[in-house]
Each structure stands twice: as structure tokens, then as C-alpha cells.
Structure 1
């Protein structure tokens, strides 16, 4: 179980959601060089159909998957009903079957039970992030297995014999996640590890003797620990100086070695082993990018590795006995993500996704058959030919640092035509916008907006130097990366220089507010989706379950007790009088990360400037919108706002609005 970077989790439709989920992909295309010439408009623009937000949202979003132990079906979550519910589909293909019938809170699948009739799923209340683990029965009833109303519980993994599963919960102390094991015959939990040191669980050995943990020191520095449940000893495995990351991944099937990720002596994370008997370490696997994860199939026949290859995930599957990569048939075009291997190691389920096609579920048999597509999630009224593939580009920032970005160019731009543009800023601050499908992205591009998704300094996936380059410089160096992006857009020749706006969610929402407040003449409009306005309040009110990386967060962003002046100066709320361009704000009322009061106050402050401000609050959402009805309302309103104040606004208005 791993904690993700601050605000990156939650905005499902807005970021690629780099989480502790195991995401994989096919071999990626090479990145565009920094000196690549800008795309040219066509002399004769072909006709491109535009679509409504209802049509885009009629595309189904699916996530999570688990193969039944008898290889008969695959379980997944789908928002086909307007909210995420559990569905299952036969591995031979056919019509998916709805398993749960929630109408209020999203259901996110975990696994089948060994009987293949019951399932485990996770759910919270209206996006409050107090997740519980539920058992769903064939008769349609569900039982909360972790019923403490104030406690957050998260599934960790099954025991190897499938007679129990492990989960973490903060029911004893809101700040700390203890490890429990729940017997599936009686569904009674027992405490396995009392966590009083704010450790994060990483791996459990198959014989249940060893637990591996990571301890966050800063966002660039962590430690590795091994706990022996037999001797009750906690051993520090990574004594070091300087900033080095250590993260446990998995134990080998024979329980003799611990595999872990580290960037020790390297720019990118790589895989190493630790021998439990001798204490010796050895390099297992390296790549020219960050290795994101590596894990073994249930009986150890295969090892799967995911590599963060320039905003795409590259997947490699090795035969454990030989260490050699296995030969796979031609796979569907796109990123292959969320690979799951069946218990008997005969089947593999996975998703295929690209920037212009949503997730679809596939199954592949290791006997060499061609992969079988099990879902068709794209709205049949939408043609992929009308959508736009993202393109990796790079540009130089104010200090010469090279900034990676993803460019989406609308189809049908005629020679000499100038289009409005948006900078798209991800959450995090250590997130990364990736080449995955986003209905909002495609909706905006389909309606004529050039979109540049900026992976500014501080983004993950580009090495530890780049990741650390924004520490204590938020709202300054990273904002300058966004301002420099305007020069790149202007160089394309098809962007209207005075019609460049900025949009972002979570930390990206903060960047929107920072851009409008600290560089008030740079961006024509801003769309803030639950962004931080007051860092002093946000850092003082972070959820108690973030205790394991509270200090790391403070060291990156600033401590509200000792760095109050710096945090005040990077908080847009206190400089809202400088905002003079139109602003739109969207907020979930149940957001535990960026409290609703943050948006309330920035909206009230900006309105005093006689600046156009639009504000939407969703009472049944948290830090991320997961209900289709709300997404339709919110995304439609965003386009209306942009059309009014960016696309159709006279140039003079975009320069002087609010003055």
C-alpha cells in the first residue's frame, strides 16, 4: 500500500492518476526532440464533427480488474449507470453483467472471493475518502467488513492460501495505519502490526513472516524497513546520507529476498534485491526511465515490470526461471495498463488506453491465442477519427531547463488561423499528465481549443533532479515554466497570443490561482478545479491519515508553524486583489484535502475586483468528481465559460478584464 503525492489522487478525469495501482503499457513511441518544429496548420481544413458533453460522457469509464479463480470471468468497475458499480464479463466475451446497484456512492472493485460468487469492494461516502471494505453477496446484499464510521480502511493483499486477506486501518489512531489480517471463514480481523512510527506498508511475504515498509523523510528521501513477525524486530535496511528513495515492492516467491525500488546513485529508480539471510543487495533491473513497480504472479512463474517511459507506461513480462522476457503476440495499439495474471498463471487481463480512446478490457491466454476484447466503452456516436492524439513535445523554460509537455492540436485549423489555447496543469505537486484518455481534454480540443498539458518542474517521471526542482519554489519556478509554455504555443503559428488560458485541478488548480494572482497579465482566463488558495490553512488541516508523510510534505511545501511568511506569500488568497482576469471555480463540498472554504474565500475575494467569477459546488463530491451527472454539468459549464471569456471575447477584453 502506498500513499500518493499530496493532491494527485482524486481528479480521475483530469489527471492520468498515477497511483499505487499497477499500471502497465506497451512500448512507447520516442519523444519529440526539444528542437522539433511546431506542427503546421493545413491549407484546406478537413471537416471535423463536434460532439456534446453528453456524447462524450456517454462513453463509459472502467477501472480495476480481477480474474475469477476458475478463469471464467473478469470483475471491474464501470460508471455505465452514472456512478461506479461492479460489473463482470465472461472471459469468452459477451454482455457484461452488473453486480452492484449503488445509486449514491461509487463502488471500486477489489477481488472475487475464492468461491467466485462473492466479491470485495471499496467505497466511501460522497467522496469523503473514509473508505471501507465491503463484502457483496450473490443475493445483492452487502456487508461492511470495516464498519467503524470514522476509520479509513484499505485492502492490502490476499494471503497466498486465500484463506484470509490483509488490510490497513486507522481505527486505533487516526494518524496511523495498523495492519490487520481478516479470516474469510468468519470475517473476524486480528492485529498483525501496530504501527506507531508512521510507516507505509509495501509488501508481505508469502509465509506471512516478513513485512516491508517505507518511511517518508522528504518527498525525495525515504527509508526501507523489514519487520519480522516471529521475532517482533523492526530492522532498518537503508541507512544512508543524502536524498535517496527506497520503496519495497515484493518478496520473491520463495520468501528469501525482498525486491525494492531505489534511486541510489542514479537519476531514475531501479529494482534491487535484498537477501534476507545475508543482507546482501544486488541490482535486478534497470531502465533509462523510472521503474514504477515490479511484482510476481501468484506462483512466481512470471514477473511483471512497469516503466514510466515519457508519459507512457512500458510493460515487460519476464519468465522468472530464466529471467528472460516472454514473447507476446501483437497487442492492440495503445498503452497496456492494469495487467493482472490469473491464479493458475494461464490468463492475463489488462486495459488498453490511449489519449483518444478510453479504457477497454482485454484477456490474453498464455497459450498463444490472440488477445480478446471484452468491452467496448467508446460511445458509438463518436468517431476516433474526430479525436486528437496527444504528442510529446519539449520546450526551454526561463532558466534553460527543458520542460516536457503533451500537445493536443484541434483538427481543421486552416492556414493562417489562430485558435485560443489552454495550459493544462496536473495535480500533485508531484503528479504527471500522461497520454491517457480524458473526456474533458477531448471535449475542449474537439470544440476548437489548442491544449498543452505542462509537466512542469516537480513532476514525476523525469528523474529525481527534475522532481526536486520545485521544492520550496511553488508558485514561482513552476509557474514560470507555465509562462514559458506560452512562448512555445506562440511558436506554433496557430495560437492566438492574447487568448491563452490556464486550467488545472487540485495542485493544478492552485497553479491557476497563482498564475492569475502572481502574473496577472499572463493568462486571459483561469479555470480552478478544487485548487489551494491558502496554504497556511490547507497544511494545517490535512487529513490525520496523512501522518506518515506529513513532515515530508512540510519539507517540500513549508511548515505552517515555522514557514508562515513564505506560505502566506505563495497563497493566492492574500493577493486576490491582483486578479483581474475571468475566473471559474469548481469544488466538491466533501473534499477532505482542499476544503470548500478555500474556494468560497477566493471566489468572494475576486468578486470584489469586479471580475467575472463563476462558482460551482457539488454537494455529493469530494476531491475528484466521479458522478456522470456532475461531470456533465461541470464540464459543460467550463466550455461555456471559456467560449464566453476566451474564445469569443474581444482581444481588448482579454487584456484588460477587471481593470
Structure 2
């Protein structure tokens, strides 16, 4: 708790009720659809102008995970799971009548949204309907124009096993672009001919990423890729020759490691008819947006929306006269902004209130870097609460992101602001293995180098020791998913550094995790962590459970019983093992949640329990 009384404290329910709005998509009539958790779980909402009152469209208690407007009809498709189990089913919603039609009914299978065809009468997606460990490609007719022409899913391609994603339809609706991630930085890109069933590989075998795919209608395919480079750029495939040329946003062969000014392109939208494009570079976590016209491999810049913070999920409206995007900043909740083409000013179409918490009380981070054993510098965001000083030192939450190929960025975190309001400082390191700094940096924790990233967390605490406003006896390890593993590894490898630890859905033992995770995920995860067949003993040796006798600080463990990624057994076994050591441990498992806690009611219970735990032990 805060040692000062200069700022009122607010309950966690106030912070968690700050809405999160994202996933914009435009209908042909210009209505903006988006996901908002205003009702307690993410649902589809709509608004047709800035400042207009939004309307909720889906009435469900379960979370909606995706929404995609038809390109030709006032309708959309959305995906929804049950109990946060990630086994989404797809539904069609007619905006004229409000009628919802289930498109799939296979609750044991995961349906991963893909794309609408250009005529708006079919959709394509990937699903593991026949084999839990294999995603196949399906095409399905939908009821365009308010009709009843719904069809059954038709399998058009059997996948090779593991993940397979449908990226987009070709301009004539006769082919699909597919991506298959073999690992986070090794993606196979191919084209599927829907008439012949033939599949042509565009990627050349070099480990590289391909995302944000758009056919240009002139024999080309645009993408964001890091092929031939350390950082990602906008590229174009010539579909006749198969050659890939760099178009925009690239930094050549320069390294993107922290301390340089070479950056990844992280988003791209393109309108084929207008030839307009907009993309964003990830510059030290913040977004630099670029707009312009794409003709072949030539990019002609235009005026770009000014963004203070982070912009993502760009999408064009009708005739590409405006572009919408998800926007957030350290002190600004997630919302959707819209900019007219050629204008620098973007307007917030989904203003979000703060439930009486003064926005000026939200704290912004400082971007810092600290040195490591190999001379590298680890980037991090450092945020102090009001009143922190050498005379009033504060406890610190060291928050490690999941992934591991993920990046902590300076977006709005309601729970982070909650902890700051309670008097905790927050340090968020992007340890080696994080994305956003080029693929060399992202690979620095692969397999046998795994524990180097844990050393980065310990070095973060050493950096804290030099801060006079920090109480170094009250440092908390805190992380979700892979970040949960990092928490458990940190308190077993460096037990003297921590006053307490909070593990959300973390990996306690890599061998049991890989045995029990969803079959479709295993090969992808083994490429990052090591395989059960080849690396079993090594994986066992670096698992926190193998050193659980070292745990000295109190531990809080949260998990969802329906988690398909990190099965709940990881939580059960670490809680039992820590209790056997006589160390205080608290467990909170939700029977109706999965890898993420999606119900606001459960979230409030979760963070009230964590706050009480930290009050007691820190």
C-alpha cells in the first residue's frame, strides 16, 4: 500500500471497468464495428459516426474473439468460444434483421477466422475438426443479401499438421493465401488454388515471417516480412516469378537490437481499388504511422495520421476515404480512432470513460535500458507512483511479459495503473527473446539459451538496487503465461531477490507442459523451447519444479481450468510442491476460464485477491 495520502486510492473494480475497445472493421455502408468489453466480456458493438451513441449487437455472456464485416453486405461474421476454452465457433449476423445464424457446430474444435471472399458470399477459415493436432482449410457459403443460402463447411485442403492460417482470398476468389508457422520466426507462405487444389509455396525455405497479406490485383502479393533482413518491412511478391522485393519501411541488413534505430514494421492495411496503404513502424514500442499509395513496388507517401502512443489493426472504410485503427497510450485506454485519408488528425470514435478515476492520475513510463553480461542492453519501461522518493521508497512489481516472442509496449494497462495507485512502482523489461527488436534479439533465448533471459530479470532487480526511491526489500516477481514461467524460474534461480511472486497460467515443468498442451501447438512450441524427444533432460533441468526447494518467497498462483495452452496441471503441481516446502502459497483457479480471465466478475475477484496477498506479504 502507498505510504502517502496525497492521492486517493481506488478499488480494482473501478480500473477493470475501464472499457477495452479494439478490432475495428467497416461495413460497405460505412458503419464501424468493433469489440468492446463494456458489458463485462468482449462483444460486437457498432457506431456510424464520431460521437454517436454505440449500439451493442451481440448479447452473449461468452466472449467474442473476432469480428469481420462482409465486403459487400451489411453483415458480419464473429467467433465465440465457451468458458474461454479458445475453441471458437463462427456465426453470421445480418445487420438488417439482427438475425444470428450459427455457421459451425463442432464445440470440440477450434475454428480460426480467415477471410471473406471478394463477392461476400463465402468465407474461408482453418479448423481442427477431423484431428485435434491438424488444421485444415474450409470454405463455407454464407447468407449474402439477407438470404438463406448458408452452406456446410467444405474442406478444400488438408493441412500437414499443427497450425495453419487462412490469410486472404485472391481478387477473383479463386485462391487463398495460407501461412503455416513452424516457429514464431519461421513461417511457410503458400497459395492454394481452389479449383485444382494445388498448393504453391512462395516462401523459399529461409526462416522468415510473413503477415498482413494483401493481393494487389496486378499479379502481386503484399506482405510484412523479415525475409533477408533482421527487421520486418513491407514487401511484394511477383506471383509470376515468385520474387520478393522490398517496398517500404525496411532497414536493410541492420540489426534491430536495443540501442539501434532499426525498427520492425508491425501492421499494414491496403485497399486494392484505391491503391492506398498505411503501415506502422514499432519504434521502441511506440508507433510511427506511414500512409501512401502503393503501385507495384513503388510507395508514394501521403500525409499520415499523427499517433501519440500505439496504433494497430488498421482497416480502410468504403472507397478508402478513411482509415480506422486501434489506439492506446500509457494513460489512454484502448479505443478506435478514424482519420480521413490525407488528414493528420484522427478522431476517437469510441471514447472510453474512466469510471471516476481522474485521467490525470494515470502515470506514464520512462524508457530505460540496463546492461547485461554479454554487453547487451535490455530495454524496459519504468513507472513510479506519485510520492516515490528517497525519503519514501516504494515497493516494485517486476512485470515480465508472456510469449516469449512478444513485446511489452507502453499501452494502457488498467491493473498496472491500479498497482501504481496503491503505491507500487512497475518495471516492465523486454528481456532477450522479445519481439520488436529484430529476429536476432528474439532468438537469444532459444532452447539452450533459455536461462539467459531469466538472468535478464535478475539484472533488472540489480538495476532497481541503484534507485534511491525503491525499497529493494519489497520487490515482486509478476508474469503471465511464459511470463509465469519466468516468475517461477526467477524465484527458484535467484530466490534472494524477491519479497513475493505472482504467477498467472505459468509453465512449471516444460516436459509436462509440452505433453499436455493442445496438440496443434506442440510442434510450434517445441521449435522455441526444445523437443521432448531430443531435449527432455535439458527441459527437465531448466524447469522451475526441478529447483522448487529454492523457493523462499510467498507465491500466488492463478489459472483457468479450461486453459488449452498451459494446462491447469502446471498450477496444481507447483502449488503442491511449494506447499511441501512450507512456503506460503495461495491458489485461485476459475472453472469457467482458460488461458485468459475474460469475465470482469472473475477479474475483480482475481485482482482483489492478489492485492490482499501483496498487502500481507509485501
Normalised TM-score (structure 2): 0.90
Deviation of residue 369 (structure 1)?
9.2
Q: Distance in 2 between matches of 1:298 and 1:258?
A: 11
> Which whole-Å CA distance do the structure 1 matches of 2:156 and 2:14 have between them?
49
Aligned with 1:600: secondary structure? helix
> Where in structure 2 are there 5+ consecutive unaligned residues?
144-148, 252-261
Call closer, same or farther: CA 1:225–1:91 in 2, change over 3 Å: same
- Residue 281 of structure 1 corresponds to which residue in structure 2? 244
Answer yes or no: is the 8 Å Cα contact 1:226–1:235 preserved in 2.
yes
Q: Residue 324 of structure 1 is aligned with which of 296, 300, 306?
A: 300
Q: Which moves more between the two structures, 153-162 or 208-217?
A: 208-217
Q: 1:300 to 1:543 in 2, by over 3 A?
A: farther
1:197 positional shift: 5.7
C-alpha spacing 1:300/1:250, structure 2 compared with 1 (3 Å): farther
Q: Say yes or no: does 1:221 pair with 2:186.
A: yes
1:229 shift after superposition: 3.8
Structure 1 contact 334–353 (Cα < 8 Å) conserved? yes
User: 1:619 maps to which residue?
Assistant: 591
- Corresponding residue for 2:563? 591
Per the alignment, residue 80 of structure 2 pairs with 123
In structure 2, the residue matched to 1:195 is 159
Q: Report if the CA contact (8 A) 1:209-1:228 is conserved.
A: yes
Matched ranges for 1:167-566 at <5 A: 167-185=125-143, 186-188=149-151, 189-196=153-160, 198=162, 199-240=164-205, 244-247=207-210, 249-285=212-248, 286-287=250-251, 288-321=262-295, 323-328=299-304, 331=306, 333-366=308-341, 368=343, 371-473=346-448, 476-546=451-521, 550-566=522-538
Partners of 1:406 and 1:451 in 2: CA distance: 8
| 8 Å CA contact 1:214, 1:246 repeated in 2 | no
Aligned to 1:68: 27
- Say if 1:474 and 1:557, in contact at 8 Å, map to a contact too: no
* Cα distance in 2 between the residues matched to 1:510 and 1:246: 25
* Paired residues of 1:76 and 1:109 also in contact (CA < 8 A): no
User: 2: distance between equivalents of 1:230 and 1:143?
Assistant: 28
Closer, same or farther: CA 122–510 of 1 in aligned 2, 3 Å = same
For the 8 Å contact 2:157–2:197, the answer to whether it is kept is no
Instruction: Give the 3 Å change call, closer, same or farther, for CA 597–246 of structure 1 in structure 2.
Output: closer
Give CA-to-partner distance per residue, 1:6-28, whole Å, 9 cap, x none.
xxxxxxxxxxxxxxxxxxxxxxx
Asked if 1 retains the 8 angstrom alpha-carbon contact of 2:401 and 2:483, the reply is: yes
Q: Within 5 Å, which residues of 2 pair with 1:89-104?
A: 89-103=47-61
| Matches of 1:244 and 1:81, distance apart in 2 | 42
State the distance in 1 between where 2:372 and 2:534 align: 31
Structure-1 separation of matches of 2:201 and 2:73: 40
Describe the SS at the equivalent of 2:246.
Answer: strand
TM-score, normalised with respect to structure 1: 0.85
Q: CA deviation at 1:630?
A: 1.0
CA gap 1:465/1:55 in 2 versus in 1, 3 angstroms: same
Conserved? CA contact 1:206–1:255, under 8 Å: no
Cα offset, 1:328, TM superposition: 4.0
Q: Tell me, in whole angstroms, the C-alpha distance in 2 between the residues paired with 1:85 and 1:405.
A: 33
* 1:63 Cα deviation after fit: 1.9
Q: Identify which range, 290-299 or 592-601, moves more after superposition.
A: 290-299
Give the aligned CA root-mean-square deviation in angstroms.
2.4
- Cα contact 1:516–1:579 (8 A) shared by 2: yes
Counterpart CA distance in 2 for 1:262 and 1:65 is 23
Shift of 1:478: 0.8
Of 45-54 and 582-591, deviating more is 45-54
Q: Which residue of 1 aligns with 2:254?
A: none
- Given that 1:220 and 1:464 are in contact with CA atoms closer than 8 Å, whether structure 2 keeps it comes out as yes
Distance of aligned partners of 1:200 and 1:369 in 2 relative to their CA distance in 1, 3 Å threshold: closer
Q: Does the C-alpha gap of structure 1 residues 264 and 621 become closer, same or farther in structure 2, counting only changes over 3 Å? A: same
Deviates more, 1:156-165 or 1:442-451: 156-165
CA distance in 1 between counterparts of 2:79 and 2:195 reads: 31
Query: Residues 209 and 116 (structure 1 numbering): CA distance in 2 closer, same or farther, change over 3 Å?
Result: closer
Map 1:577-588 onto structure 2 (within 5 A): 577-588=549-560
Deviations 1:79-105, CA, capped at 9 Å, x for gaps: 1112222211221432111212212x1
Deviations 1:525-559 (A, max 9, x none): 1100010111111101221232xxx4342232121
CA contact (8 A) 2:280 2:311 kept: no
Distance of 2:308 and 2:269 partners within structure 1: 24
Q: Distance in 2 between matches of 1:248 and 1:96?
A: 31
SS in 2 for 1:320: strand
The 5 Å alignment of 1:79-94 reads: 79-94=37-52
Structure 1 residue 61: Cα displacement: 1.6
Query: Are 1:111 and 2:68 counterparts?
Result: yes
Aligned residue number for residue 603 of structure 1: 575
Residues 334-377 of structure 1, C-alpha deviation per residue, up to 9 Å, x if partnerless? 32332221132122222331112101223333375954332221
User: Contact between 2:560 and 2:592, CA under 8 Å: does it hold in 1?
Assistant: yes
Once the two structures are superposed, what CA deviation does each residue of 1:221-272 show, in whole Å capped at 9, x if it has no partner? 34433334455433333435xx631425424322401234443442212232
Provide Cα deviations, 1:434-475, integer angstroms capped at 9, x if missing partner: 111111111111111111101110011111111111011465
Relative distance call for 1:265 and 1:349 in structure 2 (3 A) is closer
How far has the Cα of 1:67 moved from its partner? Answer: 1.7
Which 10-residue stretch deviates more, 216-225 or 440-449?
216-225
C-alpha deviation, 1:504, in angstroms: 0.2
Q: Please say if residues 281 and 288 of structure 2, whose CA atoms lie closer than 8 Å, have aligned partners that are also in contact.
A: yes
Distance in structure 2 (CA, Å) of the matches to 1:246 and 1:348:
25
Residues 180/593 of structure 1: CA separation in 2 closer, same or farther (3 Å cut): same
Q: CA deviation at 1:137?
A: 4.7
2:268 & 2:71 partners in 1: Cα distance?
25
Distance 1:236 1:109 in 2: 28
Shift of 1:116: 6.0
Q: Greater relative contact order (Cα 8 A, min sep 6): structure 1 or 2?
A: 1
SS of 2:352's partner is coil
